[in-house]
Structure 1
Amino acid sequence: MASHWVLALEQSQNLEVTQGSIAATATALKNGADLRLFMDAHTYEETLYFQQTYAGEGDAFAGLMTHHHSYVHRESLTDEPYFSLFKYDVSGSFSLLKWMLDNRVFDDSQAYPYGVYRWYVYDRWRVVYEHDAEGNCLTGDLDALKESIREGRSLKVGVKQLFGIQDDDPSGPQHISFFNIMQPLIKNGNAGANCDFILSSAPCWPFSWEDGLTLGVVWPWTSGEMTCNLVKPGHLPFRRTTVRRAMQWLVAEDA
Structure 2
Amino acid sequence: MPSWSQALKLNENREVVAGSANALCDAIRRGADLRIGTAFRHNEHIDVTSTNNELIREVMDFRVTYLLQDRWAAGIQNLRMPIELPDGFGPRASMSFFLYNQEGHQGVGRPFLDGEPAKGTIGPAPLNDHTDMPKYHELANWDADTNAPSSNFIYDFEYFEYHVRDCWREVFAHDADGQVIFGDLDMLAEAVRQGSEVKIAVRGLCDDLTPAGDTAMEHEVFLHLGACYYYTETRQMMASANPVVRTRAAIPLGYASGEWDYGWLMPRTDGHVARWLCDPQTLQFQKSTTHHAIRWFINS
TM-score by length of 1: 0.90
**1:176: Cα distance to partner?**
1.3
**1:41: Cα distance to partner?**
1.5
The whole-number CA distance in structure 2 between the counterparts of 1:172 and 1:96 is 22
* Pairing 1:215–2:262 present: yes
- Describe the shift of the 1:189–1:38 C-alpha distance in structure 2 as closer, same or farther (beyond 3 A): same
**1:231: Cα distance to partner?**
1.9
- Tell me what 1:90 maps to: 102
The whole-number CA distance in structure 2 between the counterparts of 1:71 and 1:18 is 30
Deviations 1:101-152 (A, max 9, x none): 2252232542210000000111111111100000011111111111111111
Q: What aligned pairs does 1:116-155 form with structure 2 within 5 A after superposition?
A: 116-155=159-198
* Pairing 1:35–2:78 present: no
- Tell me what 1:172 maps to: 216
- Tell me what 2:63 maps to: 51
The letter of the residue matching 1:59 is R
Deviations 1:211-238 (A, max 9, x none): 6211021000001000001122122211
Bigger CA drift: 91-100 or 212-221?
91-100
The whole-number CA distance in structure 1 between the counterparts of 2:91 and 2:9 is 37
- Describe the shift of the 1:76–1:182 C-alpha distance in structure 2 as closer, same or farther (beyond 3 A): closer
- Tell me what 2:244 maps to: 198
- Percent identity of equivalent pairs: 25
Instruction: Tell me how many residue pairs correspond in the alignment.
Output: 251
* Pairing 1:112–2:124 present: no
- Tell me what 1:8 maps to: 7
Local SS of the residue matching 2:178 = coil
Q: Which runs of 5+ in 2 are unaligned?
A: 43-55, 116-146
**1:79: Cα distance to partner?**
4.9
- Tell me what 1:230 maps to: 277
Runs of 4+ residues deviating >6 angstroms = 167-170
The whole-number CA distance in structure 1 between the counterparts of 2:92 and 2:38 is 26
Find 2:293's aligned residue among 233, 246, 251: 246
The whole-number CA distance in structure 2 between the counterparts of 1:113 and 1:168 is 31
Pairwise CA RMSD: 2.5
**1:92: Cα distance to partner?**
2.7
The whole-number CA distance in structure 2 between the counterparts of 1:230 and 1:165 is 12
**1:3: Cα distance to partner?**
7.2
Report the structure, 1 or 2, having the larger strand content: 1
Bigger CA drift: 101-110 or 218-227?
101-110
- Describe the shift of the 1:69–1:24 C-alpha distance in structure 2 as closer, same or farther (beyond 3 A): same
TM-score by length of 2: 0.77
Local SS of the residue matching 2:79 = strand
Q: Which runs of 5+ in 1 are unaligned?
A: none
